[in-house]
Structure 1
């Protein structure tokens, strides 16, 4: 495709981990071109100065953020910003005709009161927020196709929801028994310097954080409640693992029908995700590893049943920066544009 025919895309927050993943994916996409890179602290710097390995591919400078400039150059804008900033820009961009994909938490909640309870601050964009679509294609594919504004899920919710969705949608488990134990690599904490992410702090160690109060909890509960048709509360505990990329989410729940066996559930999961090219249901007795998904937009799911406790155990592995962030956003854009869901997205992982 000629460069003039490609869809012009902008990234605001281009210097963070989400932004740099988006740049890499956009450079490989056959129907998109990078028209704008925006940032605050990095404005005026060449992108290849920040990331020298892009030197032969990206010659653009990062510019100060200006809505008029963005809308003039771009048809699509990815907002890869800290929470609380995207909502100040999205309404103006949409009014100017741009499609917007927000990678922060600003547009993940149908109820802004929930957002304000967990993230704080005031919001004046209620009319815009009510039209946002939650960007998990495996659940909301048809709505995403018609969307102008998509709130892309967090990495923990993506892995956890893909693991639990078939069970809640079909009422196969007691929803009050859902427990999610999840572990993430250090890149999930972003690029800003944090003491807990230092090699000397994180290496050779494993620990929980945000216990009983992590901000992804209400996001997971919102979608679980939608699937189940009634309010669902979950117990969610995240952990930091001393690796760079990847999330492994292990979900436990009590089965309504203790007669269900592993083979039954694998059949149910395979049918549920039959139209989802990025979800791979593993065979009997095979459990996912994060390395399998590294560098890809894939989610690997393994299912087990413990007949002693009548519990189902579902394990889900993704790359937190791809399926959990930039890749999922691009998957949503493919749907919004009427393109193949897999277009321009990596399917082969880094291994070993």
Structure 2
């Protein structure tokens, strides 16, 4: 598959590989259908080439697809698996070599150290055969699930770094985060893309993925013991309202609590089959509101104080309609950075960009990010 120049893109085409932002996080996931807005933003960011799915010939209405011979179907599955394996390898390479992942931390100096440690550990894990095979199956099941897993692993590693974990527990946390949702590979495909209300039966099928993930990992000697517990417990909640066992507080493994928090945050700020993404600000407000109910409030505060929801240099839109660039971030109040206005409400460019400190300009808030 060859890269496609962004100036030739047209609405309706589908991304074959994810587009990452400068922080190494997924900006547009594989499988995203391009719109005029997405295409315009890709060009504005200076992204010159992306990978899109090859067009397939359209059939006339009413015509049926010819039966696919078993040998041909087997070949198609084999090619799909090979494509997923390649996608997993490429994703690891991008994470290992991306110099901007450290900007996910709100403190730049900490970000530089985190980047070195995290990428070194990912380099070691890139040869972990079992883990890569399972991630390939997850990608084959749904590329969005795979991309979500990578984001959760990065966010979990940041929390572990903020908690000052030594290298060995940080390694075990990353492995656990990369395998936490592995039970989803047995979920019926139609449930992954279902847009309507889930039935009780549907929910039962989905909730089984925690036990199935545990069974897949519990007796393996090439993954940490904590990985199986994280697969089992990442939907348990601090107040005991989660599943599958309804345990709470200290009964939940600390890694599972970290992964659950990262899982929820990334799910909120990412596009899903059934809904659009939340703003990062709204996601932070949700997490704070769920403190000591869904999650340990001290863990939520640690997460929020270290995650840079608005990396320096990224573009945002204010409730005034103005477009700005993040100039600096106070780690104690990451939701209200100092911004530099570059576009006025009417779309006119600012000749001499000027700064506004949102910590003191209370009537202004960030309402969206600008790709």
**Structure (1 or 2) with the larger CA radius of gyration:** 2
Q: Which has the higher strand share?
A: 1
Q: Which has the higher helix share?
A: 2
Relative contact order higher in (CA < 8 Å, ≥ 6 apart): 1
Scaled by the length of structure 1, what TM-score is found? Answer: 0.31
Scaled by the length of structure 2, what TM-score is found? Answer: 0.30
